Structure 1
Amino acid sequence: MMVKAKQVKKPSADIGQIRLIGGQWRGRKLPVLNSEGLRPTSDRVKETLFNWLMFDVRGTVCLDLFAGSGSLGFEALSRGAQRLVMVEKEARVARQLELNLASLPGAEGKVINSDAQTYLAGPPEPFDLVFLDPPFHQDLLSQVCTRLEQDGWLAPEARIYIEREQISNEPALPGNWRRLKDKRAGQVSYQLYQREQTE
Structure 2
Amino acid sequence: MRIIGGTHRGTALAAVGQGDAAAHLRPTTDRVRESLFNVLQGGRFGDPIGGAQVLDLFAGTGALGLEALSRGAAHVTFVDNGRVAQKLIRENITKLRRQDDTTVLRTDTGKLPQGTPCTLVFLDPPYDQNLGGKALAVAKAAGWLAPEALIVWEESRAQIAPHGFTTLDQRRYGDTWVTFLRHSS
TM-score, structure 1 as length reference: 0.81
Of 160, 163, 168, the match for 2:154: 163
Structure 2, unaligned runs of 5 or more:
42-46
- Structure 2: how far apart are the matches of 1:100 and 1:129? 20
Counterpart secondary structure, 2:84: helix
What's the offset of the Cα at 1:147? 2.3
The answer to which structure has the higher helix fraction is 2
**Which of structure 1's runs of 4+ aligned residues deviate more than 6 A?**
none
Counterpart secondary structure, 2:15: strand
Q: Which has the higher contact order (CA 8 A, sep 6+)?
A: 2
Aligned pairs for 1:114-133 within 5 A? 114-118=107-111, 120=112, 122-133=113-124
Corresponding residue number in structure 1 for 2:37: 50
Give the aligned length.
175
TM-score, structure 2 as length reference: 0.86
Q: Identity over the aligned pairs, expressed in percent? A: 38
Corresponding residue number in structure 2 for 1:24: 7
Query: Does the aligned pair in 2 maintain the 1:149–1:174 contact within 8 Å?
Result: no
Corresponding residue number in structure 1 for 2:177: 189
Counterpart secondary structure, 1:129: strand
The answer to which structure has the higher strand fraction is 1
Query: Does the aligned pair in 1 maintain the 2:123–2:151 contact within 8 Å?
Result: yes
Structure 1, unaligned runs of 5 or more:
1-17
